[in-house]
Structure 1
Amino acid sequence: MKTSRTVSLLLSATLAIAGAAHADTGHHHADSGTAVGQPGLMVDVTRTVKIDMGDNMRFTPANIHVKQGETVRFLVSNSGKLKHEMVIGSAAQLAEHAALMRKMPEMEHDDPNQVTVKPGKNDELVWQFDHAGTVDFACLEPGHYEAGMVGKIIADPAKAAAN
């Protein structure tokens, strides 16, 4: 299909420009790593943060503090009646992906920086915050991002060891 090929080419170009070439075999729409983090391993998890997604188009909590170096397990619950997702990325990545989702609302995901949760269900996402800084997260289901379903994760700098 021409549309599929065009979208595939656009995504490939976006990934190449972003320097997001990864060696795994999953279908990725954007760089799964960010300036402050990357997918983490369950064995390295230091704590669990619960996040609720609701049909009021909000995350609870919407602002989360972590520590640089921490690996966090996000337990993501959908208390609504609509499908929601949590996608971690830069504001630019999220805005670009939201635009693609509006054009292709049935797009399936298999990215380590996101989790899609059906109504009344839970899922998890493990993320390592290897740098200090701020990273965004959002629901990119069509219309949800535009309705304000966004949040921020602030990775506070690790304290320097005293000599």
Structure 2
Amino acid sequence: MPNIKTLLLAALLAASGVAQAHGDADHAKKPAAVIKEQKDWGIAGDAKAAKRTVEVKMLDSMRFSPDRLEVKQGETVRFVVRNDGKVMHEFVIGTKAENDEHAALMIKFPNMEHDAPYMAHVAPGKTGEIVWTFNRAGEFDFACLIAGHYQAGMVGKIVVAAR
């Protein structure tokens, strides 16, 4: 049974709009207006600027295919993420530290919804899309942060080569 601190945190998150039920809804489609916020791993990209499309499959074996991607600093990539499984999966780009923290929250609040331009929550048999500009060099991760999936190794690596 949750303690009072957990219940208060959940209530605060819900009231702030940060937490909503995941459910079985398909959250792959993004709202028309994307908020562009600089992250350590880049910024939301413009679809017209994407010169490259990368398809990533999400599998019930708790793996991505491919699980390693290489891009160039400044490149805008359109990710088409396809859920080839029978359970919900998601594709979240971030740093290992950010994904570790988010995965821990997902265990505590498995119904937490998150909607940001670097995330796609995709129902079985469906496809989602992310357009992202990698304006910072480095090694970043992508992961499925649904409780248990991340812990089972559903992660991949994006290497952004400096200009």
TM-score by length of 1: 0.79
* AA partner of residue 94 (structure 1): N
Correspondence 1:131-150 to 2 at 5 A: 131-150=136-155
State the Cα deviation string for residues 42-64 of structure 1 (Å, max 9, x = none).
01111000000000000100100
Match of 2:122 in 1: 117
Runs of 4 or more consecutive aligned structure 1 residues displaced over 4 Å after TM superposition: 6-9
Mark the runs of 5 or more structure 1 residues left unpaired by the alignment. Answer: 13-25, 159-163
The question of whether the paired residues in 2 share the 8 Å contact of 1:39 and 1:113 is answered with yes
User: Are residue 106 (structure 1) and residue 114 (structure 2) matched?
Assistant: no
* AA partner of residue 148 (structure 1): G
Offset at 1:35? 2.2
Mark the runs of 5 or more structure 2 residues left unpaired by the alignment. Answer: 1-6, 19-32
The question of whether the paired residues in 2 share the 8 Å contact of 1:63 and 1:151 is answered with yes
Offset at 1:131? 1.8
User: Are residue 4 (structure 1) and residue 13 (structure 2) matched?
Assistant: no
**Taking structure 1 as reference, are residues 106 and 36 closer, same or farther at Cα in structure 2, changes over 3 Å only?**
closer
The residue matched to 1:85 in structure 2 has which SS?
strand
The residue matched to 2:101 in structure 1 has which SS?
helix
* Backbone CA RMSD of aligned residues: 2.5
The question of whether the paired residues in 2 share the 8 Å contact of 1:64 and 1:152 is answered with yes
Offset at 1:92? 0.7
Match of 1:45 in 2: 50
The question of whether the paired residues in 2 share the 8 Å contact of 1:36 and 1:130 is answered with yes
Q: Distance in 2 between matches of 1:76 and 1:38?
A: 18
Q: 2:62 aligns with which of 51, 54, 57?
A: 57
The residue matched to 1:101 in structure 2 has which SS?
helix
The question of whether the paired residues in 1 share the 8 Å contact of 2:53 and 2:77 is answered with yes
Match of 2:75 in 1: 70
Q: Distance in 2 between matches of 1:128 and 1:66?
A: 10
Paired residues, number: 142
The residue matched to 2:140 in structure 1 has which SS?
strand
TM-score by length of 2: 0.79
Offset at 1:107? 1.1
Q: Distance in 2 between matches of 1:8 and 1:83?
A: 22
State the Cα deviation string for residues 48-84 of structure 1 (Å, max 9, x = none).
0000000000010010001111100000000000100
The question of whether the paired residues in 2 share the 8 Å contact of 1:65 and 1:156 is answered with yes
The question of whether the paired residues in 1 share the 8 Å contact of 2:41 and 2:94 is answered with no
Q: Distance in 2 between matches of 1:94 and 1:68?
A: 21
**Taking structure 1 as reference, are residues 3 and 68 closer, same or farther at Cα in structure 2, changes over 3 Å only?**
closer
Match of 1:94 in 2: 99
